Structure 1
Amino acid sequence: MNPTVEDRVPVLVVGGSLVGLSASLFLGRLGVRHLLVEKHANTSHHPRGRGNNVRTMELFRVAGAEAPIREAASTLADNHGILQARSLTGDEQEWLFKEIDPGGGLTRISPSGWCLCSQNDLEPVLVRCARELGGDLRFSTELVSFEQDAQGVTARLRSRETGEESTVRADYLIAADGPRSPVRERLGIGRNGPGDLFHNVSITFRAPGLADIVGDRRFIACYLTNPEADGALLPVDNQKDWVFHAPWHPDRGETLEDFTDERCIDHIRRATGAPDLAVEITGKAPWHAAERVAERYAHGRVFLAGDSAHEMSPTGAFGSNTGIQDAHNLAWKLAAVLDGAADPALLETYEAERLPVARETSARASARSAEHSHPGYSPAPGAAGGRQRGVLTVALGYCYPRGAVLGADPELPVVPDQLRLTGEPGTRAPHMWLRADGQRRSTLDLYEKSFVLLAGSDGDMWRTAAKGAVQRFDVRLDCYLIGTEPDDDLAPEDGTDWAEKHGTTSEGAVLVRPDGFVAWRAEGRVADPEAALREVFEALLCRS
């Protein structure tokens, strides 16, 4: 006998950490009703996963969450750079990099910036924002089992507080349930990659005297390289609370029980070069650095996102950011399919776009760990690959040569060596400042709940074509004319030429997806704009 279904939702999200909560936020912004379940009683209490890159902050900006996130991160707002030192008291010290954005050049390409916000501070903000949008978030609730058929997914849930079980029916399931994902295992999806890289024990401790030793060195992290006591030191409040990542070697028979308070205190003192430092251990949590990527990102109506799809070395903070960007890519596609605008075949482009990004990014993360000599990591000979070109091309320049894009160069590197944000199909659309009704906004602020067609002052034919596309496909599509004429919708700030910025002419147009990636570009005049847009949307929405 089939179990009674107590709940019906379009999307079930399994996992309430950074990626699952971000998925809830993005789905809520798009008006997609959903249920999120998380087996733990609360959000993370351990300070980890603190680096939120510029692309992630752009997504949170558009979703209305950037301001509260920066407020939650205010304590570490002035911390920058990675320091490498034999100890904090010796002379052997080197900044691997001192500024995240030296010279302030990032402001030319983005309205946002990096943000140092630990997971324990970020997750409550995401919970609050998601619930304000109507998200149904249930903690202390675990997925017991699930089955899928051609019409949807039936999942069995259990309250860990009462033991009561219930059944929910969803059109789609997002598995954001971590690196040991039970959902992925249930689907039989394998993973490829080198596997485990190194292991650490994250030790939280209180040491008010350490602030005087650190002084004005406001680092994100300090890699301490004393061969007898190496590790990574991270500030929590720059005053009394700190985190130390100590190498752990289970392959040598070490157990977590070996990390007694006495051993941890001694290790921290020797690593910092402060033998008399007063240290109070407040917590310990093991973590594992690995490089693995799932062979597939989807099976039927179930999709993997975040650590369930990919594991990465923590150096460069690529892992959680890649997962949050997974969720953003998937959210707009689910919304388009659930709205009836797109055929379900659109969801196949999620894997086509995001899996290659994960493969390239995870390899870059491992190479960066080797370059930085991350404590506990002993890469295989030749694995370092030389000095990395920086994280910005990985964080912001990743591309989609194949997927829900038209006219992209199939040979375009998924992660280029140089950052190119010039309006090419498959790349993140360029940022430029605009003004309308006395208000300043970025072009990126336009992209969230609809496709957007940009054209110039001579673009009335594109506006007409956009109206025709809306009527024909019932798709969310906004059209903006950018220029200085009275009938234009938006005026470029400081005389910036929008067409040059986007790689087109004044008679061309650029179509941008809801996730801010260029879907298609007409570089010049088109004989029949309505016919052109019709063909474009038939292909993009898989309705041809």
Structure 2
Amino acid sequence: MKSTATVRVPVLVVGGSLVGLSASLFLGRLGVEHLLVERHSDTSRHPRGRGNNVRTMELYRTAGVEGRIREAASVLADNHGILQAPSLTGEDQQWLFREMDPGGGLARFSPAGWCLCSQNDLEPVLVRAARELGGDLRFSHEMLSFDQDPDGVTALVKSSETGEHLTVRADYVIAADGPRSPARERLGIDMAGPGALFHNVSITFRAPGLAEVVGDRHFIACYLTDPDADGALLPVDNHTHWVFHAPWHPDRGETLEDFTDERCADHIRRATGALDLDVEITGKAPWHAAERVAERYGSGRVFLAGDSAHEMSPTGAFGSNTGIQDAHNLAWKLAAVLDGSAGPGLLESYEAERRPVAQATSARASARSAEHSHPGYDPAPAATGARQKGVLTVALGYAYPRGAVVGAAPDLPVVPDRMQLTGAPGTRAPHLWLRSGTTRRSTLDLYERSFVLLTGSAGAAWRIAAAALAAAWSLPLDCYAVGEDPGDDFAPEGGADWAEAHGTTPAGAVLVRPDGFVAWRAPGAVDDPEAALRDALGQLLHRT
């Protein structure tokens, strides 16, 4: 073994794909020093994981990279909907859905929107932003082993380029190392759920003539259903470069070697109905759809995030989005514990909040694959049924009945049947447009680096209490008055009533976490606002 250097960091992130890179970005925004190691030499080169839902884009908006991501995604900005057809040249063309946001109703709930950005385009944006914030990102580095003690984690990392070994001493580890996570295996954590659903081979190819066949049907994906040549077609640039997901049946003895270039090209021609299409195969990558969730989200000082914690059917891109939101949930909690704002008990809320979301979301993803008849998926009859509604509630309306919240309704559903963003503890805080002078921002833009207490014009006592408690506890806690009085920090746009939107009264207060979820609320004035706020924050942050 070559010489070993030693590095000391508060957080070690293992895995440099979407979730690990997002964790690095979020930690960097919070000023948390960290090291990220990724065994591959670079970011993904294969177009995949392209659907970024509204909640993920809200997080990237707050982290300052939404504009960069939309620029990287501009080539597919006009692609919408999922088409299903026996071929591109025949009859019976059916849109499973045509628009992600028909009628523009999403604007009532969020300042952000869905974004179609392939993983190979998104990851370089995250790398640049994370490094600009001081993130130490090391590709071609693999974690070989780790051991824990009461004070931290010691990991052994190897550079595949030099063969040198690195000893990393960290307070905490985020294991975002994929569905076959070595970290999860070392922790002895099992996965539970239905298991494998189906298998595909993702084929990248060049076909300049395919754009003419597709015409003006600028879809996100097209499910081609010829039983002898089914699969999913996805555009990369709408002109020359495309991806085709071909069903793969290893249970029937089919191997990856069976997917020769000739076979793949022939399959694509028959599936699209363009039998004379000139097809050049440029790459192939197997992938496996499964529904599994880790029985625990970590052990000691090591936490699982993304595919290491859950696997989901790809329909709806729920898996990558859930993983990115895992990273965001964990980042602010690690930051709070590391800077002394919170006790270590806060980290227990990570599993309590995120695991139920993964269980509910993975079940919805499988049901949606059945509903859309995803190529290669042959679900049991019980998995089929009525068409799913309320996809937005899965993406944005999920809630935390338990965890770092005070006063959440015990029967609060993890994924409700309809959007209920009304300021209840455990739900994502409502979006309202605010103005201060010539500046316009969403309430969601206020939440990132600290807890925030929102009050109305009549909430002076709450603001005094918040300032006193922040000073006494050395706690990042911002307070804003929202109203029409000259001394208020913000005025709600269009005469909106911030108190009504947040389920309180003008004399009440709403405490929002750094991730934009409501932590606690007071419906009105109380005799001792500082004591009430101290009690709520003490429970949330595991402080006395």
Q: Does TM-score exceed 0.5, indicating one fold?
A: yes
Determine the structure 2 residue equivalent to 1:136. Answer: 136
- Cα drift, residue 5 of structure 1: 6.2
- 1:175-214 equivalence runs, <5 A: 175-214=175-214
- The CA RMSD over aligned residues, in Å, is 0.8
- 1:53-452 equivalence runs, <5 A: 53-452=53-452
Secondary structure of residue in 2 paired with 1:382: helix
CA distance in 2, matches of 1:4, 1:217: 56
Question: What is the one-letter code of the residue matched to 2:160?
Answer: R
Secondary structure of residue in 2 paired with 1:435: strand
- Cα drift, residue 390 of structure 1: 3.4
CA distance in 1, matches of 2:218, 2:124: 25
CA distance in 2, matches of 1:405, 1:340: 19
Secondary structure of residue in 1 paired with 2:269: helix
CA distance in 2, matches of 1:182, 1:474: 39
- Deviation per CA, 1:225-278, whole angstroms, max 9, x where unpaired? 001100000000000100000000000000001001110011001100111011
- Deviation per CA, 1:179-212, whole angstroms, max 9, x where unpaired? 0000000000001001100000000000111101
- Deviation per CA, 1:307-356, whole angstroms, max 9, x where unpaired? 00000000011000000000000000000000001000000000000000
Determine the structure 1 residue equivalent to 2:7. Answer: 7
- Cα drift, residue 437 of structure 1: 2.7
Question: What is the one-letter code of the residue matched to 2:255?
Answer: T
- Cα drift, residue 73 of structure 1: 0.1
Determine the structure 1 residue equivalent to 2:20. Answer: 20
CA distance in 2, matches of 1:36, 1:170: 11
- 1:480 equivalenced with 2:480 (yes/no): yes
Contact 2:10 2:33 in 1 (8 A): yes
- Deviation per CA, 1:5-34, whole angstroms, max 9, x where unpaired? 611000000000000000000000000000
Contact 2:195 2:292 in 1 (8 A): yes
CA distance in 2, matches of 1:468, 1:346: 23
Secondary structure of residue in 2 paired with 1:348: helix
Secondary structure of residue in 2 paired with 1:128: helix
CA distance in 2, matches of 1:88, 1:489: 56
Determine the structure 2 residue equivalent to 1:511. Answer: 511
- Deviation per CA, 1:25-74, whole angstroms, max 9, x where unpaired? 00000000000000000000000000000000000000001000000000
Question: What is the one-letter code of the residue matched to 2:81?
Answer: G
CA distance in 1, matches of 2:451, 2:494: 26
Question: What is the one-letter code of the residue matched to 1:179?
Answer: P
- With normalisation by structure 1, the TM-score equals 0.99
Contact 1:510 1:522 in 2 (8 A): yes
Question: What is the one-letter code of the residue matched to 2:334?
Answer: L
Question: What is the one-letter code of the residue matched to 1:123?
Answer: E
Contact 2:433 2:493 in 1 (8 A): yes
CA distance in 2, matches of 1:345, 1:288: 36
Question: What is the one-letter code of the residue matched to 1:492?
Answer: P
Number of residue pairs matched? Answer: 542
- Cα drift, residue 166 of structure 1: 1.3
CA distance in 2, matches of 1:390, 1:180: 31
Secondary structure of residue in 2 paired with 1:287: strand
CA distance in 2, matches of 1:4, 1:151: 21
- Cα drift, residue 4 of structure 1: 6.9
Contact 1:5 1:169 in 2 (8 A): no
% same residue: 78
Contact 2:434 2:493 in 1 (8 A): yes
Contact 2:390 2:417 in 1 (8 A): no
Determine the structure 2 residue equivalent to 1:523. Answer: 523
Runs of 4+ in 1 over 3 A off after TM superposition: none
- Cα drift, residue 472 of structure 1: 2.5
CA distance in 2, matches of 1:80, 1:172: 41
- Deviation per CA, 1:149-203, whole angstroms, max 9, x where unpaired? 0000000010000110010100000000000000000000001001100000000
